[in-house]
Structure 1
């Protein structure tokens, strides 16, 4: 897929992977609407520009409806919806309370659902339209200490597959992006009742050799290749391949990691 001439909306575009994806799509010739909850993105899109910004709270159906109407009025339609916005979370099962579960579900899963519901009628009018949902390696590989996050990201992967089936008759596709840890500001949103897990997550993000720009480039390459499951970095591919090809070794590794966490209780 080349992005040239496409109309693309990206959520969570003020920083991190959302910003990197927006930059990559724009550099590839797309018209990009960057949306985010950040107050400094509270500007209307100028239809003559290659990029625009708009404030969007992905937990608000009203915001999504208004944004869908704005896009239809300004652009006449949409070619690619990128549900990227999300928050970090984690904690061992007994240390992750239900408030944290509700927070992760509302943002990371229902944010994707709301956006897809708002734009699917428009996308079905455009043969070749795409929905791109940024999930996580946690949607495929499920380590200890991440029960809520794993479950929510796995749900995003499942929802993306269903979306693809429903878009197929109109010529559209859906794509789940499942990266491992990469350098971003995602952990700024981390709230956890499990300090051990929080410390591990922050270290893995901060020490990752992979940048958001590298993940964005891999996403565009995956879209160009037509991959409906995009596993964009070497660490993620290695973990996913291990689970699929040698389940006993995968389980042994995951349970060893779980024991290390227990030692920190």
Structure 2
């Protein structure tokens, strides 16, 4: 992919340009979890930079990719802002702050915001390759667009269902097991994974073998969702805090939606 180095560096610069001011605000507010709210734009920002660098007008698939990317970033950033508004710093970042002591505010520029900017830039790799490719058609790219659209919608519906459940009246310790959450314990994360596998298929369909290496993006995102900041982290101690969750986990798939078992 000759000629992609300058736009790739521009994409990294965009991610850093979003991360650094957010870090400054986080220091003033003592809230490093602001990183979560800008995370979608750390990925979408480089993607928009790639689209600005390479000609794509007239390509329906390129237009679809940009529409899904921007809609996903806008929806997720607003949802995370709304969900966390008024709750202070997330417990994950509070634990980091306590472990690292008074210097955490300055350390967070690289252990939180800088790290997330680099990871987001790596995740944006399929977007770079897609826009750099000469042709953007084909069945594989169309399949990728369909999968990415499905993933964005699936995740949005799952988040909306959970938000409605949390706003409503419920018994203490009640577990969300309705709608998509009856088929998967983390349907929002499943949708996120589908989104990035879809974008990778679009890059693969557009660039062919030159896009194989960008499989790092969906693999990395899926690993993060399953093992780092997603499923494993959320389910740690959940059964102890909410006894009903044990039965829910026994009958419900952890990630890939599947019909629930009839009995635990």
TM-score, reference length from structure 1: 0.24
- Largest Rg, 1 or 2: 2
Instruction: Specify which structure has the bigger relative contact order, considering alpha-carbon pairs within 8 angstroms and separated by 6 or more residues.
Output: 2
Q: Which has the higher strand share?
A: 1
